[in-house]
């Protein structure tokens, strides 16, 4: 593949105390042929994330049209699974102006650094505002997935909701810092709300250098094949790089990371890391929204596919 990096799209400025820095995990949906809405989570001064959105021009996705002035949902009450952050990962149009937002709740801990589980918020006005479905996760901990059930990408495929996500029950140490270990898992649901206790493992880390995947994003192409865009965290780099895989049915993946050809740029906002790719096709053009250094400290960016 060949991509043309179009540059940074938006970093928080002047939105208020809830959005001081960082615009992480860009999550695009098509509002209309002219408008892409990118759901994204901003951080306050303490690093706690809350989701908002940025509307951009579908013909020129670096042109910002509108930005949410308030968070779409707030963090949870003390002691809840999302009391230290709520970060949007996937938004699904389920019809009749109803949207499901799947988000990750951050909970700080003592004997491990944190836990990450998945919550659900629902919009009934076309994605303008959301309410939490409940105050507990829809992907709660289980014996097989003890600390992390997070990073979900959800697709409505016919009458079925399909979820690719990351999960794990272990930590490892990189440069003296405790970091999570997790693999790619898969679940199905009839309603997008009720899911199983654990998913089928679809792709595991390979080699001693990898210790985790980040935020899967799946595209089902017209011929039925599936493309997986994801992030890989490596010990030697101490940061993410982007990965790519293909599957006939969305279950058995063949990794082909080298073919993606979307990497860091020296001296730029993505000089040290590139992660959280989210791909959308609009009017025959394919865009990849992504983050750079420090999980999107400077904002989120976009690249356009110029050759497959």
CATH class, domain 2-307, is: mainly beta
| pLDDT for the residue 102 | 98
In this predicted structure, what is the pLDDT of residue 263? 96
pLDDT at 17: 96
Q: Using 50, 70 and 90 to split pLDDT, how confident is the model at 210?
A: confident
Asked whether the predicted pLDDT for residue 237 surpasses 90, the reply is no
- Asked if the model's pLDDT at residue 139 lies above 90, the reply is yes
Give me the mean pLDDT over the 125-140 stretch: 97
pLDDT at position 206: 83
Q: What is the dihedral sign for C-alpha 56, 59, 63, 66?
A: negative
Closest CA to 194 of 131, 152, 235, 138: 138
Average pLDDT over residues 42-62: 97
Q: Which region, left, alpha or beta, applies to residue 126 given φ > 0 means left and ψ of -120 to 50 means alpha?
A: left
According to the model, what pLDDT value does residue 204 have?
Answer: 81
> Rounded to whole angstroms, how far apart are CA atoms 219 and 260?
14
Please tell me the predicted confidence (pLDDT) of residue 282: 95
Q: What residue has token string 């990351």?
A: 166
- The yes-or-no verdict on residue 18 having pLDDT over 90 is yes
pLDDT for position 243: 95
pLDDT-wise least confident of 76-90, 178-192, 203-217, 224-238: 203-217
Rounded average pLDDT over 188-202: 95
**pLDDT-based confidence at 281, cuts 50/70/90?**
very high
pLDDT mean over 85-114? 96
pLDDT at 13 over 90: no
| The length of the chain, given as a count of residues | 308
Q: Is pLDDT at 177 greater than 90 in this prediction?
A: no
Half-sphere exposure of 142 (CA within 13 A, CB side): 15
Given a cut of 90, whether residue 285 has pLDDT beyond it is yes
pLDDT of 7 over the 90 cut: yes
Q: Region 19-32: what's the mean pLDDT? A: 97
Residue 126: closest CA among 156, 88, 99, 155: 99
pLDDT at 175: 80
Could you please report the per-residue DSSP string of 163-230?
EEEEEEEEEEEETTEEEEEEEEEEEEESSSS---SS-EEEE---TTTEEEEEEEEEEE-TTS-EEEEE
């Amino acid at each position: 593949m060949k991509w043309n990096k179009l540059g940074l799209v938006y970093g928080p400025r002047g939105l208020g105390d809830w959005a001081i820095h960082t615009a992480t995990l860009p999550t695009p949906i098509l509002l209309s042929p002219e408008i892409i809405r990118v759901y994204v989570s901003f951080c306050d001064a303490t690093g706690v994330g809350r989701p908002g959105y940025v509307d951009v021009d579908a013909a020129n996705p670096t042109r910002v049209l509108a930005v949410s002035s308030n968070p779409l949902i707030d963090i949870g009450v003390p002691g809840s699974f999302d009391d230290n952050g709520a970060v949007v990962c996937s938004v699904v149009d389920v019809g009749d102006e109803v949207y499901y937002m799947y988000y990750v709740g951050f909970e700080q801990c003592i004997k491990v650094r944190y836990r990450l589980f998945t919550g659900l918020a629902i919009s009934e006005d076309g994605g303008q505002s959301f309410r939490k479905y409940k105050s507990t996760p829809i992907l709660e901990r289980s014996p097989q997935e003890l600390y992390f059930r997070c990073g979900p990408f959800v697709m409505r495929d016919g009458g079925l909701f399909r979820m690719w996500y990351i999960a794990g029950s272990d930590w490892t140490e990189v440069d003296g810092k405790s970091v999570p270990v997790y693999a790619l898992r898969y679940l199905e649901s009839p309603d997008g709300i009720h899911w199983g206790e654990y998913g089928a493992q679809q792709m595991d880390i390979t080699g001693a250098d990898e210790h985790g995947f980040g935020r899967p994003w799946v595209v089902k192409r017209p011929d039925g094949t599936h493309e997986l865009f994801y992030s890989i965290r490596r010990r030697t780099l101490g940061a993410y790089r982007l990965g790519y895989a293909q599957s006939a049915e969305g279950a058995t993946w063949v990794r082909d990371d080298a073919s993606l050809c979307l990497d860091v740029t020296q001296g730029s906002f993505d000089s040290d890391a590139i992660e959280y790719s989210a791909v959308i096709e609009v009017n025959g053009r394919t865009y990849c929204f992504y983050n750079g250094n420090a999980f999107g400290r400077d904002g989120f960016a976009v690249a356009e596919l110029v050759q497959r």
